[in-house]
Amino acid sequence: MRHVLHRLAWIAFPVSSSLAGCGGGSTAAPARADGDPGGGLAAAPAPHGDAAAPAPHGDAAAPAPHGDAAAPAPHGDAAACDRLAARLKAALEAAVGAQDLPGAAAAVELGGCSFRGAAGAADVEAKTPLEPGALFRAGSITKTFVSTLVLLLRAEGALSLDDAVSTYVSGLPGGEEITIRQLLNHTSGLFNYTESDGFLRAVEADPARAWAPGELIAFSAGKAPYFEPGRGFRYSNTNYIVAGSIVEAVTGRRIAELLRERVLEPAGLSSTYLDGAEPAVPGLVRGYGSCDGELVDTTSAVDPSSAWTSGGLVSSAGDLTTFFARLRDGGLLGQAELAEMTTWVDTRPDGARGYGLGLARRTSPIGTTYGHGGSVWGFVSASYCAVERDAAITVLVNHEDGDVTTIVDDLLRVLEDP
């Protein structure tokens, strides 16, 4: 079956090319490489009553009721939270209908109110309703998790953000001048491996191929850098493949194990895992693309090792909200590390106002937000924390062409007048 790979542009942020397989009249599943930090990232308060009770890693998560309403915190006004939940649920359903999406899940926190909702289908063919606790590919939100792990190692003195990349990973052009900090804030200049024609051809030839990190890095190493280290900003998935390799070189351990031990378990995230690198948690919804006007299942179009530490995480809206809550409140990183993470470089993309260490800054209907977003074959994601408001939001969509930023803003407008 013939695969035709083409590049898809993303409006919110200049990101990696995407892989999509769409032959004329073919039902081949599109394959897509990860990108889009501009989709946003949210540090949300910890849920006060998440409808989906997460199961231990490797066990099925107990599904929440479809279209679950707000669960108020003990100090919240239950009636007010219920009214807010109804409006958020209606806005989410309207957004899914307006974009003709398979489905979307959302988590919203505002003061004492906690909303977990979903609309549409987890599996279109089986007509399975999408549940609020369902699992999605999180895409580039993975980068915030990896940056958090690097900063934990920095806090312990295992590495310095100013260490040269060549100290740990060889063969990269300018590796002696590139620092770990420049990897994390995309100022390294390293060529994005997912924009490599060689990588696109290799995925087209064998979508199920399992990739080693060094093989992905080699696609970048063979290309001229975009600019000298520190002389510009260019979002590149290669940066976080290299960062993951550095973590393993420094610790002598697999990064999936370290993420679980140092980040996922301390934050209480039992529905999150690095796909292809550890056992899956049951509950991943089907992801879709469009080919010749037809909906095509792209859930497993490419082996997840092709994204690895640049975009391989699977998670739920509730888990992502909890992660950013712990991050924001100092439950994962100390103040010095949080200050490093929120030191912004100028990105100049539409809708974004800077990029830190695995963290994007963006304007929204309720003010400045910090967070990250992602796009990966079959899925788009966004998770934000509103800086001026006690509010946070995560939206996950199971169609790779979904405009997740618009859905986020639609829900945030509801919060303007709760």
Beta bridge mates, 104: 119, 397
Sign of CA dihedral 154, 308, 165, 186: negative
Nearest to 302 by CA among 70, 23, 3, 43: 3
Q: Residue for token digits 């809708």?
A: 351
Torsion angle of alpha carbons 326, 330, 334, 337, nearest 10°?
Answer: 60
Report DSSP letters for 20-46, one per residue.
-B--TT--PPP----B-GGG-----PP
Among candidate residues 16, 18, 140, 316, the one labeled active-site is 140
Backbone angles phi, psi at 147, to 5 degrees: -60, -40
Angle between helices 317-328 and 142-155 (to 10 degrees): 30
Rounded Cα–Cα distance for residues 330 and 337 (Å): 10
Nearest to 183 by CA among 259, 236, 251, 258: 236
Structure tokens at 134: 């369902």
Answer yes or no: 166 catalytic: no
Enter the DSSP assignment of 171: S
- 352 SS3 class: strand
Nearest to 387 by CA among 371, 373, 369, 405: 369
Nearby residues of 327 by Cβ (< 8 Å), 6 or more positions away: 43, 144, 148, 333, 338
Torsion region of 88: left, alpha or beta (phi above 0 gives left; psi -120 to 50 gives alpha): alpha
* Active site members: 140
